[in-house]
């Protein structure tokens, strides 16, 4: 009888040890998984940086206007008459994206950035927080001022050296077309690079 009780007690202790080992192992696996996920998680966006990205393979490549309605889902409501013109300029850099062309102190200068394949996917439209916050654009280098009601779009590239890529121009046409349609902006209020060596002033 004593041997039976001893055997039962030993078996019970063994089961408890196994449960403890399994529990500790489970905690260890969960801790490792959480640590790994935190390590792999992207860093939060800094103020003034790009908030939303449309890659070149997104629905923006579908028929004109498709997928572009996402740009009107802003953090601040868009007030009627808020935007009355569009200014398009180049970054004057061979490559880049919304992060690299941002001002170190002011953050994003433009509302939208369209990449050329070097620094971002070719034709990728990057939406800056300046747009989602419905804040005025900051004049780019060489431009003294920009109307606070003007939407600013920066095409990555140096037009003194090369023309925009076909995909950049395609996505630019779609973006400006949708903005003009939404805000009733006439073509006469759309200012852009007239020549590879000339940037139109945002009057």
Query: Where do the domains of the chain lie?
Result: 1-41, 50-191
Contact between 49 and 127 (Cβ < 8 Å): no
CATH number attached to the domain at 50-191 = 3.40.80
DSSP reduced 3-state for 100: coil
C-alpha dihedral, 20 to 26 to 30 to 31, nearest 10° = 40
Q: What is the pLDDT along the chain (203 residues), one digit of tens a residue?
A: 555 555 555 655 666 666 656 555 555 555 554 444 444 433 333 344 444 444 433 434 333 445 788 899 999 999 999 999 999 999 999 999 998 998 888 888 999 999 999 999 999 999 999 999 999 999 887 777 889 999 999 999 998 888 999 999 999 999 999 999 999 999 999 988 654 444 444 43
The total of other beta-carbon atoms located within 10 Å of residue 195's CB is 8
Q: In the chain, what's the furthest Cα-to-Cα distance?
A: 102
Write down the pTM of the prediction. Answer: 0.67
Count Cβ neighbours within 10 Å for each residue of 96-107 and write b for 16 or more, e otherwise: bbbbebbeeeeb
């Amino acid at each position: 009888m004593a041997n039976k009780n001893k055997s039962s007690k030993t078996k019970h202790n063994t089961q408890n040890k196994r449960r403890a080992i399994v529990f500790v192992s489970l905690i260890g696996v969960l801790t490792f998984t959480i640590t790994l996920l935190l390590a792999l998680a992207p860093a939060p966006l800094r103020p003034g940086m790009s908030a939303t990205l449309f890659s070149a393979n997104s629905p923006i490549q579908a028929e004109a206007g498709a997928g572009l309605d996402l740009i009107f889902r802003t953090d601040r409501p868009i007030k009627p008459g808020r935007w009355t013109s569009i200014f398009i300029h180049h970054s004057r850099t061979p490559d880049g994206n919304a992060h690299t062309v941002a001002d170190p102190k002011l953050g994003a200068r433009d509302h939208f950035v369209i990449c050329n394949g070097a620094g971002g996917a070719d034709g990728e439209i990057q939406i800056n927080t300046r747009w989602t916050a419905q804040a005025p654009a900051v004049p780019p280098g060489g431009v003294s001022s920009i109307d606070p009601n003007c939407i600013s779009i920066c095409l990555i590239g140096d037009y003194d050296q090369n023309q925009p890529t076909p995909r950049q121009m395609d996505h630019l046409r779609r973006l400006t077309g949708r903005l003009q349609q939404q805000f009733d902006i006439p073509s006469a209020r759309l200012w852009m690079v007239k020549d590879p060596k000339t940037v139109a002033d945002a009057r």
